[in-house]
Chain A
Amino acid sequence: METKVFLELLSNGKGVSGFEYPLQNTIISAFDKYLDDISVDKLGNVIGVKKGTYKDNEKSIKIMIAAHMDEIGFMVKDIEENGFIRFTNVGGIDPRTILGQEVIVHGKEDLFGVIGSKPPHLQEPKEHNKAIKMEDMIIDIGYPKDKVEELVSIGDPITIRRNIKNFLGNRIAGKALDDRAGVAALYECMKELNKINHEVDVYFVTTVQEEVSMAGALVSTYKINPDIGIAIDVGFGATPELPRASTVELGKGPAITLGGNIHPNLRKELVKIAKEYNIPNQIEVTPGPTGTDARAMQITRDGIPSLLLSIPLRYMHTSVELLDMEDIKNTGKLLAFFIASISNENLEGLLCY
């Protein structure tokens, strides 16, 4: 499958944090062809393994690559007398971005709805300058209360209704590219790896619940206990209103994070490989723990050397997250070449402080 097609399936799919299971089959059926084994763990992480060429299975190096499959969304918290749904957010959402959005309430069946609030005509003029709070908004699915209660339960997840849109160049926008773009990069990586030799075993993990607790990365890293952990997430794409120093640019390749969360020598090796294969890349600096699965990996068990690659993404945590497909391709490529460069012979040296 074309990676772009796969990403479209993923982004249009539904998988709010804690409710990622509808995506499992899409991911498994795409990944399966390239992997030796694939399974789902107790919290719903999909874990695929691609074996390397090292002879002694016991001593094979394990590299874990993780991208989170969950997306931000909403959850039903109450049903009003007239059938309006009150909702809360799952993950960080700016309430200003959701007014007037179309949504899907994932009840007994998928139900179309719109997010509404008090019309501006009925507000005091000075209220117009204030953002409307999420608790003052409702979702209208067009049914009376008894019908709503039949179809919807408190606790049901809700996603914004937004299919992938194609733009100039190879750019696309969608509602859940954070971090389905990372899952697509994993897919690119396994395709690349299929063409080259690699000594190490690669564990491809699509993690759950990154947006709320990193639960998926914590438990899957514990289970796999890799020698190296690499998280693939998205980075703040440059736009006019953002300070240049805090962003990365679309189309210029993955950002390679530098900072305390990242193993310094492994990072140098990754940059070296990028240079060697002419893969564009950028730098992102984060002094402390990153807000990504790399954070969870680093502190699991007795500590896992970690790396973080970020795919530039504009308008993060909105329903129009925008990226450049080339960046995903380059992320997958860089990962593959990096993996191929690691061997039982050189790993110890690379991990040395």
Chain B
Amino acid sequence: MNVNFGLLKELVGIYGPASNEKPIREYIENEIKDYVDEIEVDSLGNLIARKKGNGKKVMISAHMDQIGLMIIDIDDKGFLRFTNVGGISPYISISQKVVFENGTVGVIYHEPVGDISKLKLENMYIDIGAFSKEEAEKKVSIGDICIYKTDFEENENVVFTRYLDDRVGCFIAIEAIKNISNPVNDLYFVFSTQEEVGLRGAKTAAYKIDPDIGIALDVTAHGDTPKAKRFAVGLNKGAAIKVKDNSIICHPKIRELLVNIAKENEIPYQMEVLEFGGTDSGAIHISREGVPSGVISIPTRYVHSTVEMASKNDITNCLKLLIKFLENEINI
């Protein structure tokens, strides 16, 4: 399968922190609109695209929101104070560049602290190079959210960039939309919002769609770097099929189906038992009367940093697995 990683490069660069996903939503909408039968945006900002079929109603969810930093105060000298939107680490943030929706760029730094291990976000600030409060306020308002700014890098094996979480899931969903014609199943692709702050978009989207089956596409952690916490998932070992995380124990039938499809089609896969974290399926499976749900995970190193890394083979294999899963009649 020939995969266009150029689109992934575009996707990771587009602004869309949790609750403020409009730019990325519009980009994705434009990208897929010719390939779907129906498309709508709900009140939490989820983009819901349907490819009609007669089989089971399947909700495929990839979250388009990013973690970011919300400005809560601008001091007299024009320095910005912030709070986290999603899981932002103070250590990873030191000396990172950030960018606002209007293109304003800043850098994150911290007050002098004796013991760096005690660093908290409240001791950090963003410097946008303004010389006064008034100047800063021309560019940034309280409540604005900025995102990390780093470049996309790739080689023959891997990509490493900001915001693979979860633009790589969006990427796989978009490619699946483009590659599936005449779907057997009734497919609802959801590009969900506010996953990073508690699976909020997926919850309302699942209620609205009321699917028979739920599949989330998201990154997972890794256990294959020096002295990493013991975890059986590693890069370039195939698509990860989730068994559990903190938000869900995946439905055994969906999990088995994914494994069987991977085996039949010789798609490399690995099983994922994650001891923390959660993703959209956590919200989907408890919607209404219950939705048997699973997750296809993209093994990713350094999640929630500015250099998230994933294997191109794994990404391709996740895409293949998703397409094969959706193309078959699903009996559970």
Residues of chain A touching chain B, judged by Cβ–Cβ distance below 8 Å, are 17-19, 21, 41-43, 45, 75-79, 86, 88, 90, 135, 153-155, 209, 212-213, 215, 218-220, 222-223
* Contact of A19 with B252 at beta-carbon distance under 8 Å, contacts A75-B244, A90-B244 already known: yes
* Contact of A77 with B230 at beta-carbon distance under 8 Å, contacts A18-B252, A154-B273 already known: yes
* Contact of A155 with B248 at beta-carbon distance under 8 Å, contacts A88-B273, A135-B230, A215-B285 already known: no
A17 to B288, CA, bound (A): 20
A154 to B270, CA, bound (A): 9
- Are the C-beta atoms of B251 and A43 separated by less than 8 Å? yes
- Are the C-beta atoms of B292 and A212 separated by less than 8 Å? no
CB-defined contacts of B223 to chain A, threshold 8 Å: 78
- Are the C-beta atoms of B230 and A86 separated by less than 8 Å? yes
- Are the C-beta atoms of B244 and A41 separated by less than 8 Å? no
- Are the C-beta atoms of A155 and B273 separated by less than 8 Å? yes
B248 to chain A, nearest CB (A): 7
- Are the C-beta atoms of A223 and B232 separated by less than 8 Å? no
Residues B44-84 near A (CB distance < 8 A): none
- Are the C-beta atoms of B292 and A77 separated by less than 8 Å? no
- Are the C-beta atoms of A215 and B286 separated by less than 8 Å? yes
- Are the C-beta atoms of A77 and B273 separated by less than 8 Å? yes
- Are the C-beta atoms of A219 and B273 separated by less than 8 Å? no
CB-defined contacts of A153 to chain B, threshold 8 Å: 271
CB-defined contacts of A86 to chain B, threshold 8 Å: 230
Residues B238-265 near A (CB distance < 8 A): 243-244, 247-252, 255
A222 to B290, CA, bound (A): 9
- Are the C-beta atoms of A77 and B275 separated by less than 8 Å? yes
B270 to chain A, nearest CB (A): 8
B257 to chain A, nearest CB (A): 14
A66 to chain B, nearest CB (A): 14
A88 to B251, CA, bound (A): 18
- Are the C-beta atoms of B230 and A219 separated by less than 8 Å? no
* Contact of A78 with B230 at beta-carbon distance under 8 Å, contacts A42-B289, A90-B244, A154-B273 already known: yes
Nearest CB in chain B to that of A218: its residue: B286
Nearest CB in chain A to that of B271: its residue: A154
A213 to B286, CA, bound (A): 9
- Are the C-beta atoms of B290 and A213 separated by less than 8 Å? no
Among B231, B251, B288, B290, residue most surrounded by chain A Cβ atoms (within 10 Å):
B290
- Are the C-beta atoms of B273 and A76 separated by less than 8 Å? yes
A276 to B202, CA, bound (A): 49
- Are the C-beta atoms of B232 and A77 separated by less than 8 Å? yes
Residues B141-161 near A (CB distance < 8 A): none
Q: Which of A18, A21, A215, A219 contacts B244 (CB 8 A)?
A: A18
- Are the C-beta atoms of A219 and B289 separated by less than 8 Å? yes
- Are the C-beta atoms of B286 and A219 separated by less than 8 Å? yes
CB-defined contacts of A213 to chain B, threshold 8 Å: 247-249, 282, 286
* Contact of A41 with B273 at beta-carbon distance under 8 Å, contacts A78-B232, A135-B230 already known: no
A135 to B86, CA, bound (A): 27
A96 to B243, CA, bound (A): 26
A75 to B255, CA, bound (A): 15
Q: Which of B247, B255, B273, B285 contacts A43 (CB 8 A)?
A: B285
A80 to B266, CA, bound (A): 25
CB-defined contacts of A222 to chain B, threshold 8 Å: 288-290
- Are the C-beta atoms of A88 and B290 separated by less than 8 Å? no
* Contact of A155 with B230 at beta-carbon distance under 8 Å, contacts A18-B244, A75-B243, A222-B289 already known: no
B204 to chain A, nearest CB (A): 15
A222 to B287, CA, bound (A): 9
Residues B213-237 near A (CB distance < 8 A): 223, 230-232
Give a binary string over B280-314; 1 marks a CB under 8 Å from any A CB, 0 the rest: 00100111111110000000000000000000000
A21 to B289, CA, bound (A): 18
Among A43, A79, A223, residue most surrounded by chain B Cβ atoms (within 10 Å):
A43
CB-defined contacts of B255 to chain A, threshold 8 Å: 155
A88 to chain B, nearest CB (A): 5
Q: Which of A77, A79, A223 contacts B231 (CB 8 A)?
A: A77
B61 to chain A, nearest CB (A): 17
Besides A17-B249, A135-B230, 10 new A-B residue pairs in contact (Cβ under 8 A), listed by A number = A42-B290, A43-B251, A45-B290, A78-B231, A154-B243, A155-B243, A215-B285, A215-B286, A223-B289, A223-B290
A346 to chain B, nearest CB (A): 30
CB-defined contacts of A219 to chain B, threshold 8 Å: 286-290
Q: Which of A17, A41, A88 contacts B289 (CB 8 A)?
A: A41
A160 to chain B, nearest CB (A): 19
- Pick 5 A–B contacts, CB within 8 A, sort by A: A78-B231, A90-B249, A215-B285, A219-B286, A219-B288
A41 to B231, CA, bound (A): 33
Nearest CB in chain B to that of A212: its residue: B249
Q: Which of B232, B249, B288 contacts A154 (CB 8 A)?
A: B232
A199 to B286, CA, bound (A): 31
A75 to B244, CA, bound (A): 9
CB-defined contacts of B270 to chain A, threshold 8 Å: 154
CB-defined contacts of A135 to chain B, threshold 8 Å: 230
A113 to B282, CA, bound (A): 32
CB-defined contacts of A77 to chain B, threshold 8 Å: 230-232, 273, 275
A345 to B270, CA, bound (A): 58
Nearest CB in chain B to that of A153: its residue: B271
CB-defined contacts of B244 to chain A, threshold 8 Å: 18, 75, 90, 155
Give a binary string over B152-186; 1 marks a CB under 8 Å from any A CB, 0 the rest: 00000000000000000000000000000000000
A287 to B285, CA, bound (A): 29
A45 to B275, CA, bound (A): 25
A21 to B252, CA, bound (A): 10
Nearest CB in chain B to that of A221: its residue: B289
* Contact of A42 with B292 at beta-carbon distance under 8 Å, contacts A75-B244, A154-B273, A215-B285 already known: yes
CB-defined contacts of B248 to chain A, threshold 8 Å: 213
CB-defined contacts of B291 to chain A, threshold 8 Å: 42
CB-defined contacts of B285 to chain A, threshold 8 Å: 43, 215
A295 to B30, CA, bound (A): 43
A141 to B250, CA, bound (A): 26
A43 to B232, CA, bound (A): 27
Among B247, B255, B285, B286, residue most surrounded by chain A Cβ atoms (within 10 Å):
B286
A21 to B256, CA, bound (A): 14
